[in-house]
Chain A
Amino acid sequence: MTTRKPPESETPDGREAISADADHWIRQFIKHFELNVLNSSRKLPPNAGVSEFQLATARAILATYLDSGMEFESAVELLAQVTLEKRSVNIAWNDALNQRRFALIDKEIQGTLTAAESIELAGLTRIMRDHVESELNLPIKGAQALHRKLLELESTGESD
């Protein structure tokens, strides 16, 4: 008899759950994030407004990623990727995204790239890298297919 293995986010009786690692990550991230928000807010004037708190919070988010061991560029790319995901549901790499990335690189070379476009470029670079590095796009796929084929031939005695 086969039983369906519940997804990681589900307990055997169907309740939603998270892993112990996720729980630990949340607690650590929140603690560092709070300390970083406090740190980035301590210099604010007494009459600071919401926009200044928002800026301090954005600095704290980045600082917390760096605290977690991420490189600066990776953290920026990650935030940019999430920004792009928010804009578009289908974020799979395609020719249109590739063309857009080239256009942004041209603007970067010309020195006319805006701050928002810089974030967009980082996000596109991240998505492109994920696409290139994904197992489906690696040449190993062909090697795996060949390996499977050889195993089949061996099991049927056709390899001689």
Chain B
Amino acid sequence: MNEKIDFRIDVEAAKALIHWKSLFADEVADSASRLAADSGQPQQVTLSHYRQAAQIAIRSLSAAILDQEVSGDDQKAA
């Protein structure tokens, strides 16, 4: 359990994770505020809105990651 795991992580990979987390958080916040507005209470965003928004954001994030992968492959091929 206390054994130190010895491996290196590409900075590019660590940066991608930071970007995805940020993308996810922004998407949740934006979607949640839209859901709150749709529910007639634009000034109060609740945990329920965030739960629904998170599910939407998971799908958006998945699509964004796939898009980046495709555009990255295209750049390598060019």
Chain A contacts to B: CB under 8 angstroms: 11-12, 17, 20, 23-24, 27, 30-31, 34-35, 38, 42, 46
Chain B contacts to A: CB under 8 angstroms: 6, 8, 11, 14-15, 18, 21-22, 25-26, 29, 33, 44
With contact pairs A27-B22, A27-B25, A31-B22 given, residues A38 and B33 touching in the complex (Cβ less than 8 Å)? no
Which residues of A are found within 8 Å of B15, using beta-carbon distances? 35, 38
> How far, in whole Å, are A75 and B11 apart by their CA atoms in the complex?
27
Task: Decide if the interface of chain A is mainly helix, strand, loop or mixed.
Answer: helix
Chain B residue nearest to A27 in the complex (CB):
B25
- Chosen A-B contacts, 17 in total, with CB atoms closer than 8 Å, are A17-B44, A20-B33, A24-B29, A27-B22, A27-B25, A27-B26, A30-B25, A31-B18, A31-B21, A34-B18, A35-B15, A38-B11, A38-B15, A38-B18, A42-B11, A46-B6, A46-B8
Which residues of A are found within 8 Å of B29, using beta-carbon distances? 23-24, 27
Which residues of B are found within 8 Å of A30, using beta-carbon distances? 22, 25
> How far, in whole Å, are A12 and B46 apart by their CA atoms in the complex?
13
Which residues of B are found within 8 Å of A23, using beta-carbon distances? 29
Contact B14 A11 (CB under 8 A): no
Tell me the smallest distance from the CB of B28 to a CB of chain A, in Å: 9
Tell me the smallest distance from the CB of B22 to a CB of chain A, in Å: 4
> How far, in whole Å, are A34 and B29 apart by their CA atoms in the complex?
19
Which residues of B are found within 8 Å of A31, using beta-carbon distances? 18, 21-22
Which residues of B are found within 8 Å of A24, using beta-carbon distances? 29
> How far, in whole Å, are A23 and B28 apart by their CA atoms in the complex?
11
Contact B8 A35 (CB under 8 A): no
